Structure 1
Amino acid sequence: MSKPLLQVIVASTRPNRVGAAVGSWIADTARAQGGFDVEVVDLADVDLPLFNEPHHPMTGNYVHDHTKRWSALVSRAQAFVVVTPEYNHSFPASLKNALDYLSREWRYKAVGLVSYGGVSAGLRSVAQLKPVLAALRMVPVTDGVSVPFVAQRLDESGAFRSDEVLDASAKKMLDELVTVGTPLIALQEPAVTSIPAPRA
């Protein structure tokens, strides 16, 4: 029996970011936990333009190929972990843009949040992100991971160095994703791609 798919979404797209290293660590931790099949979705690779669909995402009536590819990718997942920094007390525009492109593809899917930064560990980005996820009918789990002073946790090769506290936090979050996310699978709808756009 196949496992549900967990996508680890790396939100930061800027050069010299550390998000990819944090995302790789949480993906490896999730694979070791064993509750999900795991893949990393890097928004820098997805490379979406600013939202430019003419129809409301709820219709599923997508015009652009980049949206259709994004919809197909997200539709594969049953749960998510979002890895995000904090930009000016919020989360990156790249993440908001990626979320806004879709609607039903996100609905009733559990999501764990991993933030990173300096002394605040990116916690204000999580506070701003949760209402957006709720508006999309996603289900953020209570347990999350917050990484302070993240630049000090990179080794000479740029890989992320965890510790016992972060590993325990990650395991707790992933266990809760299994507990909360598994029952939600029954509520998830296939992506809608054929509903006509409403008339203006």
Structure 2
Amino acid sequence: MATAPLKIVMFLGSVREGRLGLRVARFMKKQLEQSNHEVALFDPKEMKFPLIENPVFFYKDRSVLPEWMLTAEKQVKDADAFVIVSAEYNHSIPPALSNMMDYFGASAYSYKPSGIVCYSAGIYGGMRVAMQLRAFLGELGCLSVSNIFGIPEAQKAFDENGTPQNSHMESGAKKLIKQLDWHAHAMRNHRNTAGLP
């Protein structure tokens, strides 16, 4: 029996001018789609989440919220897993990323796995943000899988369209996706059995 495709929300962290993250996100989106996933890309530069005052679920009068934000909330709630594509800002989580993710309550993330894809223009591949993301994602309830896909010198790894420039990128993505899939299928089955959303 064929299983339904996994629904993935991918959060892109950077809003910097000339950001490399869009290359990485385009690549990961294609890799996930080729692996039978439905992917929604949340880009804070395009979606323009205001500086958070209240998360979406705080609003009793939901008519004051823009339609795109209500659609985004539904996509997060319906997701089976999350992929976080992030650089590091001051060796930490980019503020646009945490601001965007904080719009949705922890219950929307709970009992779903996440995968971390970090990158940098230098040789460390953004690993310092990955360590902080582990704690952040754990508190949201979407524990990250053990594999971290770190990409050093991302400007050399992908062209502007997200086309990989060496075979290591595809093999690294596949390792992360394999782990994410296992956890996402298991957790979806358990959520369905327990009657959780």
TM-score tier by shorter-chain length is 0.7 to 0.9
CA contact 1:144–1:170 (8 Å) conserved in 2: no
Displacement of 1:153 in angstroms is: 2.8
In the alignment, which residue of structure 1 is the partner of 2:49? Answer: 48
* Ranges in structure 1 where 5+ consecutive residues have no aligned partner: 191-200
CA contact 1:12–1:19 (8 Å) conserved in 2: yes
What is the count of residue pairs matched by the alignment?
A: 184
Structure-2 separation of matches of 1:167 and 1:33:
12
Matches within 5 A, 1:92-107: 92-103=94-105, 104-107=107-110
Q: 1:61 aligns with which of 55, 58, 65?
A: 58
Displacement of 1:69 in angstroms is: 4.0
In the alignment, which residue of structure 2 is the partner of 1:194? Answer: none
In the alignment, which residue of structure 1 is the partner of 2:39? Answer: 38
Task: Specify the code of the residue in structure 2 equivalent to 1:187.
Answer: R
* Ranges in structure 2 where 5+ consecutive residues have no aligned partner: none
How many percent identity over aligned positions? Answer: 25
Q: Deviations over 1:97-134 (max 9, x none)?
A: 11222221111111111000011100000111111111
CA RMSD of aligned residues (A): 2.1
CA contact 1:121–1:146 (8 Å) conserved in 2: yes
Structure-1 separation of matches of 2:102 and 2:9:
17
Task: Specify the code of the residue in structure 1 equivalent to 2:52.
Answer: F
Task: Specify the code of the residue in structure 2 equivalent to 1:28.
Answer: K
Q: TM-score, normalised by structure 1?
A: 0.82
In the alignment, which residue of structure 1 is the partner of 2:77? Answer: 75
CA contact 2:81–2:113 (8 Å) conserved in 1: yes
In the alignment, which residue of structure 2 is the partner of 1:10? Answer: 12
Structure-2 separation of matches of 1:7 and 1:158:
20
Q: Deviations over 1:151-195 (max 9, x none)?
A: 22343x5544242222111101101111011121233844xxxxx
Is residue 2:118 matched to residue 1:115? yes
Query: Which of structure 1's runs of 4+ aligned residues deviate more than 6 A?
Result: none
Structure-2 separation of matches of 1:175 and 1:29:
11
